[in-house]
Amino acid sequence: MKALTLYDTTLRDGAQGEGVSFTLDDKLKIVKKLDEFGFDYIEGGWPGSNPKDEEFFRQASKLELSNSELVAFSSTKRHGLRVEEDKNIEKLIKSGVSTVTIFGKSWDFHVREALEISLDDNLNLIADTIRYLKEAGLRVFYDAEHFFDGYLNNRAYALQTLFAARDAGAEVLILCDTNGGQLPSQLVGILKEVKEQLGPQLGIHTHNDGGMAVANTMVAFEAGIVQIQGTIGGLGERCGNADFCSIIPALKSKYDFDLEGIDYARLTPLYYYVMEIANLIPESQRPYVGKSAFTHKAGMHVSAIQKNPQTYEHVSPELFGNKRRILVSELAGKSNLHFKLKELGFDLSNFGKKEFRHLTDTIKALEHQGYQFEGAEGSLKLLVQREYKDYRPFFKVEDFKIISHNFGDGTSSEAVIKLTVNGEQVHVAAGGDGPVNALDNALRKALNSFYPCINEMKLIDYKVRVLNGNDGTAAKVRVLLESSAGQRVWTTIGVSTNIIQASWKALIDSLEYGLLLFSEEEMKEKPLGR
């Protein structure tokens, strides 16, 4: 066995998180990604708990995994049944896996209050179940549920449950902080005492109710455990589980512990993939993998970063598949702007101090009005194009009008717009579910014959923020539109006291920037300068 194995439970424990519901197809897709990344074990689910997990193991048996071993999960047998009569145990054996994980009670309080059985009966459940599974030819891991709470309440009995599991044939004993309330100093002290009693074949499974799941996992690693359990993005019940997106980078960059078979550069893409499948919004400030994890805004920081990234980055973002981002805002200086313009593809050979100062002042003035270019790089690039290049827009809006219709409980809108495209005037009308949708449909209808690539552009997010709520319905609003075309994603912005006008500005920039991406001229940048 490896000195340390990684056991992913995203598909079982992670699926117990609020708002998470994986379909069978979702689970199969995630298994492939986890295998490609290099996990040793993937806990697929509890085949006795629901038909979906039973079918999952039937389908998963057809997958050709390169790095990972699929594991099935279950509780100890039910009290009052012989182990061979327990259908959950029978389904576990029939799941087709060679390794299973069984969980049992370690806390005497749970044995009496939840199971309502004697302490000796609980020891028999653990031993009988594991012994039966071993006789069936399976490798068994044992999850000692609520172990740390149980140890603090009744040290002798908590240890007895581990001895029962070990003596019955469990290969690894995983100590679980199921309620997630342990502190690192407390947890590691208990773990070291247990290790003296039972030897090194211990694992760790922590929850994050006290915000300590990753910290508790790391001190357990320092104490010499042989298996770490966790989930992608910390998904899990209540406050979640220990997050592999923090644990794996820490092992690599802080402990210089090289995990055999792990493809570190896939970590950030894996995080976003799982969040997408789970239909959850990725956390921008998630360590190592979040969009903001290596993002710099203050001018002093950016100036230092350009000289040496280690000045404000504790690891290289590329190591874990992330990337450095520099923001442009009212806090930005020349360093931010220089970095961002280079990143956006501009040639700065003719761009001097005067131009930098003018552009910085322009951005700060617009941000004072409510614009926020740090989250709208599409609009920022268009601003620079319009200000400093001999830029000819793909279209010019002459006028637009919106008509709304009310009928019963429903509404519909119609937009009429006049455009000039390549010197030709276009006058079109289109309907929509609301005024912004109608404007979008009308714009696309007008531009489609001139620029067929517009059909590849999609609106993927629409956000509205009230900037000064004290003004009530007359408040200024900021609209951010996120659009995509294939793998390219861009964000544009509009600000106005009229939400339709703000949306219209962001929408025009969105389509204009999309057309710019498709334009051959974008690949032939001329030096910036007046």
Strand, helix or coil for residue 110: helix
pLDDT number for residue 470: 66
At 222 the three-state DSSP class reads helix
pLDDT, tens only, 341-376: 777 777 777 777 787 777 877 877 887 787 777 667
Instruction: Tokens 């001895």: give the residue.
Output: 163
Q: Report DSSP state, residue 78.
A: P
327: which 2 tokens?
Answer: 């923001």
Spatial separation of the C-alpha atoms in residues 472 and 423, rounded to whole Å: 42
pLDDT of residue 358: 79
On whether the CB atoms of residues 108 and 60 are closer than 8 A, the answer is no
CB atoms closer than 10 angstroms to residue 21: 10
CB 55 within 8 A of CB 85: no
Q: Which stretches of the chain drop beneath a pLDDT of 50?
A: 520-525, 530
Spell out the CATH class of 5-262.
alpha beta
Q: Where are the domains of the chain?
A: 5-262
Rounded to 5 degrees, what are φ and ψ at 83? -60, -35
Q: Is 338 tagged catalytic? A: no
Per-residue DSSP letter, 341: H
Q: How far apart are CA 262 and CA 321, in angstroms?
A: 13
Residue 392: predicted pLDDT: 84
Supply the Cα-derived Rg of the chain in whole angstroms.
29
Q: Give the start-end residues of each E strand in 130-275.
A: 139-145, 172-177, 202-206, 227-230
The Cα-based distances of 236 to 322, 423, 472 in angstroms read 24, 58, 39
Distance, first Cα to last Cα, the chain: 66
What pLDDT is attached to residue 463? 86
pLDDT at position 522 is: 46
DSSP designation for 389: S
Kindly report, residue by residue over 306-336, the tens digit of the pLDDT. 778 788 889 999 999 998 877 765 555 566 7
CA distance 88 to 74: 7
265 token code pair: 């550069």
The angle at the Cα of 293, spanning 509 to 365, to the nearest 5 degrees, equals 40
Residue of 110, 296, 301, 338 marked active site: 301
For residue 481, the tally of other CB atoms under 10 A from its CB is 27
pLDDT, position 329: 56
Compute the distance between CA of residue 16 and CA of residue 236 in angstroms, rounded to an integer: 5
pLDDT of residue 524: 46
- To the question of pTM greater than 0.85 for the whole model, the response is no
Alpha helices in 115-154 (DSSP H): 119-135, 147-153
- Phi-psi category of residue 183: left, alpha or beta, with phi > 0 → left and psi -120 to 50 → alpha: beta
> How far is Cα of residue 4 from the mean position of the Cα atoms in its chain?
25
3-state secondary structure at position 505: helix
Cα–Cα distance measured from residue 198 to residue 189, given in angstroms and rounded to the nearest whole number: 15
Pairing of strands 410-421, 396-407: antiparallel
Closest CA to 3 of 226, 257, 195, 174: 226
